Amino acid sequence: MSETAHMRDSWGEARLAAALLAVDPGLAGAVLKARAGPARDAWLETLRHLVNEAAPWRRIPAGVGDEALLGGVDLAATLKAGRAVQRAGLLDEIRDGVGVLAMAERAETGLAARLAMALDAAPAPMIIALDESADPDEGAPGALSERLAFHLDLSAVSLSDLNTAPPGHGRESIAMARVRLPHIVSAGAERALPQTAAALGITSLRPPLLALRAARAAAALDDLDEIGEEQAALAARLVLGPRALHLPHEDEAQDDQPPESEPDAPPRDDEANNDNNEPDEQPDDQPDTAQTPDELTEITTEAAQAAIPAGLLARLEAGASNSRASSAGQSGATRKSGQRGRPAGTRRGDPGEGRKLDVLATLRAAAPWGRVRRRGWDRLKSGPALEVRREDFRIKHFKQKAETLTIFVVDASGSLALNRLSEAKGAVELMLAESYVRRDQVALIAFRGTTAETLLPPTRSLTRAKKSLAALPGGGGTPLATAIEAAEALAHGAARQGRTVTLVFLTDGAANVTRAGTGGRDIAQAEAHDAARRLRAAGHAAIMVDVSRRGAETARSVAQNMAARYVRLPAGNPAALADIARTAAA
């Protein structure tokens, strides 16, 4: 039996995936989900041993900048040579080589896009994305992982698996497989693998093409002329299984088999004679052993289904509803501020990536070393008056105050209208005035009946805010869940623009209208708690102002779910609420 059939365990197939990458670099690479440890180091060492020794091997940090990745002008060498001197980037160094992307789960979309462009070009590097996340919902960016053939999980591989594993492929077998690779015939695999991908819900064309390349490389390793059943099944397990979006549908054709003929009438004499003299069955001296395309498709589909990671489909279904909440506010948190603002001195560093060179500070840093550096010049030739080196570069730094947005979410339902709506309006008006003094932006959302309405989009106009607040009517139900979701959507958009958001809720927390606009206090309260927990995951600062007369336990529980500061509206003293909002915003 071939080695392809022997290696069915996770570590064995991971090593086999490394051998396939060495045979066909067009497989682009792999996503390796494993923490730093013996298993990951052993797999990387296996791949490094099998690929070409002359191929460069570089590590790509997850936070690498564009200049380090793509290259640019070497300013120090340019000043010294008097002409433009280009500096090669990491992508230029790993052409026809291997790049190991560390902490791929933290890579930004811009870095993933640049690596994807490098994989689509020729000559293309091989990328190994190291996914060190313990959260199964996190991983390498989709634009990058889609182009990498293998998604390997070594988290369950133990040290004993490494010690007891049989020897794998060597460099000689890899070299011989590279020679056979261009002559491998696809046979029925070029039809079976795309059908398997469609049965698993994979709509992209790249995975079946990568699976076909993997099957050809496996056939070349097994010294075959065409792709067989084992090689096609292996490609389905390694390439298509981890990408499955749903289980294959059951074949309903089995239930539609034609009924067996009933022997109601006896056979005629001439039929009986024909049966005795000329049997219908052909002699079994040449059995048909070739796999039909449909049979091969069934085999590859079963192999891919067996390789689907446990719990993957359940996480895919649950992840669709939480993707928005998990990504809220990330854009504003990583906003760079090295170009505008108040000057904050200079520091040593390289220009570029939005950093500005302070020319005077750079010359001041290089001037004291002028005589020492001139000693090395040829005295027969005239040298520069001042030599500027890389360690002399000084970068300008700025302090920029981030804009803040205070979103007031006011309960205008009937319960509040009967109690303290006028006091709540007075408190909000004072807080609006405090925000205007700080030149912060304010927004106003009111909820009543079955909807939540944005009465005032983010603005600095105090006059508009007062007019919107004065025209606020009261009465109706309390759609608290709808209001929290509307506030989260507004805060998400502001955070993506780099603003710091503070949410101020004025309500008694007694929800009685569901998202669908129907009544039902228990369901509405449960939906409000669920929306509050999603707002908590977004990471925005929030204040829950209990506007009930005696304090409501419902408002306190909603505040706990959204991790908000709980306060009660001071009776007869709405000005104290402005101090609370100012403290929370600071």
Model pLDDT, residue 220 = 93
The DSSP result for 401-414, as a single string, is PPPEEEEEEEE-SH
Q: What is the mean pLDDT of residues 513-529?
A: 89
- Does residue 561 sit in the same domain as residue 463? yes
Model pLDDT, residue 258 = 46
Residues in the chain: 586
Q: What is the mean pLDDT of residues 463-473?
A: 71
Residue 432 lies in a domain: yes
At residue 283 the predicted structure's pLDDT band, cuts being 50, 70 and 90, is: very low
- Does residue 442 sit in the same domain as residue 580? yes
* Rounded Cα distance, 468 and 156, in Å: 59
Q: Please give the biggest Cα pair distance in the chain.
A: 121
Residue 79 lies in a domain: yes
pTM for the model: 0.55
CB of 47 closer than 8 Å to CB of 98: yes
% the chain with pLDDT above 90: 20
Q: Backbone phi, then psi, for 396, in 5-degree steps? A: -75, 140
- Does residue 65 sit in the same domain as residue 210? no
* Rounded Cα distance, 342 and 326, in Å: 33
Model pLDDT, residue 293 = 60
- Does residue 532 sit in the same domain as residue 571? yes
> How far is CA 481 from each of CA 124, 494, 509, rounded to the nearest angstrom?
50, 20, 10
CB of 100 closer than 8 Å to CB of 58: yes
Residue 440 lies in a domain: yes
Model pLDDT, residue 369 = 77
**Residue that wins the pLDDT comparison between 63 and 384:** 63
Model pLDDT, residue 253 = 38
Output the six-digit token pair for 536. Answer: 């908590």
How many structural domains does the chain have? 4
Q: Which of 360, 381, 399 finishes a domain?
A: 399
Residue 513 lies in a domain: yes
- Does residue 393 sit in the same domain as residue 417? no
At residue 52 the predicted structure's pLDDT band, cuts being 50, 70 and 90, is: confident
Question: Does pLDDT of 294 surpass 80?
Answer: no
CA-CA-CA-CA torsion sign (62, 63, 66, 72): negative
Output the six-digit token pair for 61. Answer: 């940090």
- Does residue 119 sit in the same domain as residue 191? no
- Does residue 303 sit in the same domain as residue 424? no
Helix (H) or strand (E) holding 254: none
Q: Report the CATH number at residue 420.
A: 3.40.50.410
Residue 354 lies in a domain: yes
Helix (H) or strand (E) holding 223: none
Q: Backbone phi, then psi, for 564, in 5-degree steps? A: -100, 155
Question: Does pLDDT of 215 surpass 90?
Answer: yes
Question: For the segment 112-157, what is each residue's pLDDT rounded down to a tens digit?
Answer: 889 999 999 888 899 999 998 866 667 888 889 999 999 998 888 8
- Does residue 21 sit in the same domain as residue 121? yes
Task: Report the chain's terminal Cα–Cα distance, integer Å.
Answer: 70
- Does residue 378 sit in the same domain as residue 429? no
Model pLDDT, residue 573 = 57
Q: What is the mean pLDDT of residues 284-298?
A: 59
Model pLDDT, residue 276 = 47
Question: For the segment 223-234, what is each residue's pLDDT rounded down to a tens digit?
Answer: 999 998 899 999
- Does residue 14 sit in the same domain as residue 109? yes
Q: Are strands 342-348 and 394-399 parallel, antiparallel or unpaired?
A: antiparallel
Model pLDDT, residue 284 = 46
- Does residue 488 sit in the same domain as residue 557? yes
Return the minimum-mean-pLDDT range out of 87-101, 215-229, 309-323, 562-576.
309-323
Q: Which amino acid is at 90?
A: L
Structural domain including 132 reads: 3-168
- Does residue 155 sit in the same domain as residue 16? yes
Of residues 110, 141, 161, the one with CA closest to residue 31: 141
Model pLDDT, residue 27 = 94
CB of 18 closer than 8 Å to CB of 51: no
CB of 71 closer than 8 Å to CB of 55: no
Mean pLDDT estimate for the chain: 76
